[in-house]
Amino acid sequence: MPDVLRLVAIDSVSRNESALAALVFDELRNVEHLVVERVGDNVIARTEGFHAHRILVAGHLDTVPGDPALAVIEGNRLTGLGACDMKGSLAVMLELAKDTAKRAFDVTWVFYAREEIARSESGLLEIAQLRPDLLLADAAIVAEPTGGAVEAGCQGTLRLGVTVQGLRAHTARPFTGRNAIHRLGAIINQVAQYEPRVAIDRSRDEAVTSVRELLGDLIEDEDVLEVLDWAPAAPPSLTHPIIQSLVAASGQPARAKVGWTDVATLVEMGVPATNFGAGDPLLAHRADEFVTEAELDGFATTLRGLLFS
């Protein structure tokens, strides 16, 4: 089993990735075939000039809040904060980045910060803004947990905040006032009952408009509906030959990604991308998340088969 426990033991909750970024940088900086750069708390390691085509493999350093000290290995399973999402895959990435075997492609390894919080703070976006040249590639793999299958594309996400107005009144005459909490209750109930019937494809503005239509007259002129976070969806990119090769190597049929990932960020930059990593995605963010040795070995074997001659 790759040294996942060492990574899990380092606290790297979002915005606190410096120690883990330093470990990754120090581990790769003296690898002869790599050019390594650190951009903030993001580490980018590249092979250069060996091949005509380049694959980018990306994984985030951060975790959701929790206690990394509770990590434990039992048999062939490692349980701990971030084991599944996604320090298991990070450990495999570190091993393969150092591997001196002959490659079929040039490879860019990206270890980035702040994926688990608002997209506006993303370390991958930080690299895209400061050093977009480091993210150029023919195709990309985001090593989110996928159970060893290729999970194509991703869903978009929209997070809204609603502020409604109330009217103060004396408790003896509540009918002269208006309870803002009760108004919010009606809005929450309306959202809870919403059942989308078909897959949709909407722009940011169209999505906001659809929410306004859903809430109708529950939102009044003096109320505020604001966008707190927005991230676009991404197409599946399954027609790209490198991604087709990854699907074949995985031995499993490709499936759709449920949820949002940084595949969307890379596709926005013109890089066809897909999700592929170790671990069960249903365990991500759970207090008892774990990754198994078999999952790590399967991920490593498939990725090695794609990247190396």
Whether residues 226 and 168 fall in one domain? yes
Whether residues 203 and 259 fall in one domain? no
Q: Please report the pLDDT score of residue 185 as a whole number.
A: 96
Q: Please report the pLDDT score of residue 200 as a whole number.
A: 65
Whether residues 129 and 214 fall in one domain? no
Among 167, 201, 231, residue at a domain's last position? 231
Range(s) of the domain holding residue 21: 4-154+233-307
Instruction: Say which amino acid occupies 302.
Output: T
Q: Please report the pLDDT score of residue 49 as a whole number.
A: 83
H helix or E strand, kind and range, residue 127? helix 123-130
Q: Which residues are catalytic?
A: 62, 115
Burial of 201 (0-12, 13-18, 19+ CB in 10 A): exposed
Contact between residue 8 and residue 80 where contact means Cβ atoms under 8 Å apart? yes
Whether residues 68 and 147 fall in one domain? yes
Could you give the number of structural domains in the chain? 2
CATH assignment at residue 210: 3.30.70.360
Whether residues 240 and 122 fall in one domain? yes
Query: Of 36, 21, 242, nearest to 140 (Cα)?
Result: 242
Residue pLDDT tens, the chain, 309 long: 668 999 999 999 999 999 999 999 999 999 999 999 999 999 999 999 889 999 999 999 999 999 877 889 999 999 999 999 999 999 999 999 999 999 999 999 999 999 999 999 999 999 999 999 999 999 999 999 999 999 999 999 999 999 999 999 999 999 999 999 999 999 999 999 998 766 667 888 998 999 999 999 999 999 999 999 999 899 999 999 999 999 999 999 999 999 999 999 999 999 999 999 999 999 999 999 999 999 999 999 999 999 997
Cα 253 to chain centroid distance, Å, stands at: 21
User: CA–CA separation, 263 vs 273, rounded Å?
Assistant: 5
What the block records as the tokens of 240 is 């790209």
Distances (CA, A) of 252 to 37, 128, 216, 244, 279: 35, 32, 44, 12, 15
Whether residues 40 and 178 fall in one domain? no
Q: Please report the pLDDT score of residue 201 as a whole number.
A: 75
Query: Of 12, 14, 21, 57, nearest to 39 (Cα)?
Result: 21
Q: Please report the pLDDT score of residue 170 as a whole number.
A: 94
CA dihedral sign, ordered 260, 263, 265, 268: negative
Whether residues 195 and 65 fall in one domain? no
Whether residues 131 and 206 fall in one domain? no
Whether residues 62 and 191 fall in one domain? no
Tell me the pTM.
0.91
Contact between residue 211 and residue 143 where contact means Cβ atoms under 8 Å apart? no
Instruction: Say which amino acid occupies 169.
Output: A
